[in-house]
Structure formats: C-alpha cells, structure tokens
Amino acid sequence: MLEDRVAIVTGAGQGIGRAIAVELAKAGAHVIASGRRLEPVEAVAVEVRALALSCDVRDAAQVEWVRPAQGPEGRARALRPPAPRRSGSQ
C-alpha cells in the first residue's frame, strides 16, 4: 500500500506520533521517526526498522536539517505534523 513511500513522523517517540509511525511501517512505508527526545524515538525506530532523528519542529534550522532525509527528489509524501501545544506543557 505505501511501499517505496517515505513518511516523516514528528513526535514519534510517544502517543499518537508513535502509533502513526507503527501503522505507516506496517503499511510498508519507509519511516523517518523524529522527536525532541532521541531515546524514545530510537526505541520506536528499532521496533519498526525506521530512521531515528532528533528534531524540535519549533526550530526552523532543525527542520531544514531533516529535509535531506526525505531522500532523492524529496520522496517524502506523508508528514505527521506536531500536535498543538497546550499552555504550560513542554
């Protein structure tokens, strides 16, 4: 279904982001799992055979750093955007 597609999943270390990364991998996508904290992202990456990257999407420079991970010709076709931050959360 998603064979040969690249999916970049933000917040992949926990919650909805993790669930999305797992399901995209099951569907055959090549997953790039990212999140602010690398350790939980790496755990998900091992589980689904994904590439793990530390990236804070609030920092434009870090987002630009991830862009080459999309592969040749910008193959990434799926992106899980970050959830809106609630007041007082980190």
Place of tokens 């904290």: 37
Q: Which domains does the chain have, with CATH numbers?
A: 6-80 (3.40.50.720)
Please say whether the beta carbons of 31 and 21 come within 8 A.
Answer: yes
What band does 83 get if pLDDT is binned at 50, 70 and 90? low
Backbone angles phi, psi at 69, to 5 degrees: -65, -15
The pLDDT tens digits of the residues spanning 16-41 come to 999 999 999 999 998 999 999 999 99
Model pTM score: 0.74
